[in-house]
Structure 1
């Protein structure tokens, strides 16, 4: 998805499947988070210099709606984290968790805010932490990891 005007983008996050393989505690270690029904890549065009930022919000829905995103300060499972390359502090600002949502502002107004960044999400559903599965691939084009691209 590519967005040209500054606006609020809401991205649904669900569990891959309902609880099919629960252990004695009711956890399903074979489950994972799925972003936007598997469409994990989001692309944004520059906003006008007088426009506000894009606001990106990930929202737990469907079979994950009873859960909550992990806190940003959780060492092993932060609700949101950048992978490999971190953008400079000018691009993405005001990262915040609010129970079932995580939001961040994408200030893509200039050429120096162009780039492609991969991220990871973690949420706790019924006491079990689930994340988006990560893969290792050569090059951005081959990766299935969730990403934000500013063009």
Structure 2
């Protein structure tokens, strides 16, 4: 069985959190595709959203985790791509619901707003929660009908 590859990307504001998430994913047996940033130099978060969208489109990763200082900018940038459903979450409930009801394929965390233990919990829940389908599938399909998914 091929292990899932999870893509990670962050700007400088999410760099420390990205390293922590990468270690957690490897510990859990996931493959990690690190799209950067790789140092603390100031960079532009939209560039990393573009990189994430590309690897998801190409099938090089099954899901992704994006991080910037607040998570806001990078989630806005990621959701500009029709095949990306990026959800900025702040707690375990949001991590569960974004998968269960919205079939999110990208989890977004704020490197400066979310504590490490909460971030770990969110990642674990995001990866373990399946899409519920049913009435939610109809709603997600409407995003695709409107060119939004």
> What TM-score do the two structures reach when normalised by structure 2?
0.27
Larger relative helix fraction: 2
Greater Rg, structure 1 or structure 2?
1
> What TM-score do the two structures reach when normalised by structure 1?
0.27
Query: RCO greater where, 1 or 2, for CA within 8 Å and sep 6 or more?
Result: 1
Larger relative strand fraction: 1
